[in-house]
Amino acid sequence: MPAYAAVQPAPCLDGRTESRGQSAVDDGEIRWTDETAYDDARKFALSTWQYSGSKIKIVGDSAITSNDLEFRDRNLGTRAADPLAQYERNSGIGATDHVTFNKQKLRDSSKNRLRYVALHELGHALGLCHKSDSIVSLMWKSAPSAGYEITWIPDVDKSNYRKLWG
């Protein structure tokens, strides 16, 4: 059987680069909490990003650890330009980053749509940036049409993850 070349990392859009400094990762892990109604999507994204070979541990926060990432729900608007969700990096010692789901736009979304959104935003929390829509990636700048959501970690995203985290 012929050997196949590993999928190469894909460049970020807009001249940006993947960045550990833009991630929620602290000491090789993300400690998270949640106040979201989208528990299925959150649980799915957390477990999916813990695929075999992933280096960053994603574990629930405890009473004796610092919270790195909080999942929450807010009204972020209904205009076309308003996001389905967003990742917000808060710098500073002890600061908590946020994945915020837009309740107004996700209200009647399918399970796969919610899972895609959670996977995408957790990708940002891991330091990944937006990719061109000409490749198969969770990290497209715009969400795919309903029914075409990616609910797995494509090889290009794993490659970018490995480039950033080893």
pTM across the whole model: 0.94
Per-residue model confidence (pLDDT) at position 1 = 46
Instruction: Read off the pLDDT band of 5 (50, 70, 90).
Output: low
Per-residue model confidence (pLDDT) at position 58 = 97
Report which of residues 97 and 91 the model is more confident about: 97
3 has a pLDDT exceeding 70:
no
User: Taking residues 128-146, what's their average pLDDT?
Assistant: 95
Q: Give residues with Cβ within 8 angstroms of 5, minimum separation 6.
A: none
Compute CA distances 139 → 30, 61, 74, 121, whole Å.
19, 26, 22, 8
Per-residue model confidence (pLDDT) at position 93 = 79
